């Protein structure tokens, strides 16, 4: 696990969130559980942003998709001959 460093920041959390962290922490400390949940949330946001970016890229050039597919087919035929 990563080593944690104390930072001079302060965050306010809802009591409900704190209670849920405490309830679901298992063998972890509340701090470790909160850090894991925050990492998961940040990873989820990153994946969602990449999916949106990918969808925007694919939607922006439908003509390129036809050309790309033709290129892929030609490449597959070429590889099949070798």
Q: What is the mean pLDDT of residues 47-58?
A: 88
Q: Is residue 10 part of a domain?
A: no
**Domain for residue 37, yes or no?**
yes
pTM for the full predicted model:
0.60
Does residue 66 lie within any of the structural domains? Answer: yes
Q: Is residue 49 part of a domain?
A: yes
6 inside domain:
no
DSSP assignment string, 12-51: ---HHHHHHHHHH-TTS-HHHHHHHHHHHHHHHHHHHHHH
* pLDDT, tens digit, 9 for 90 and up, residues 2-51: 677 777 788 899 999 999 999 999 999 999 999 999 999 999 999 999 99
- The domain total for the chain is 1
Domain with 71 in it: 15-81
Per-residue confidence band for 69, with pLDDT thresholds at 50, 70 and 90: confident
């Amino acid at each position: 696990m990563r080593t944690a460093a104390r930072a001079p920041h302060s965050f306010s959390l809802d009591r409900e969130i704190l209670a849920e962290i405490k309830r679901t922490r298992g063998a972890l400390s509340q701090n470790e559980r909160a850090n894991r949940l925050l990492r998961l949330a940040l990873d989820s946001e990153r994946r969602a942003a990449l999916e949106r970016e990918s969808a925007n890229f694919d939607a922006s050039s439908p003509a390129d998709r036809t050309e790309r597919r033709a290129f892929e087919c030609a490449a597959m035929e070429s590889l099949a001959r070798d």
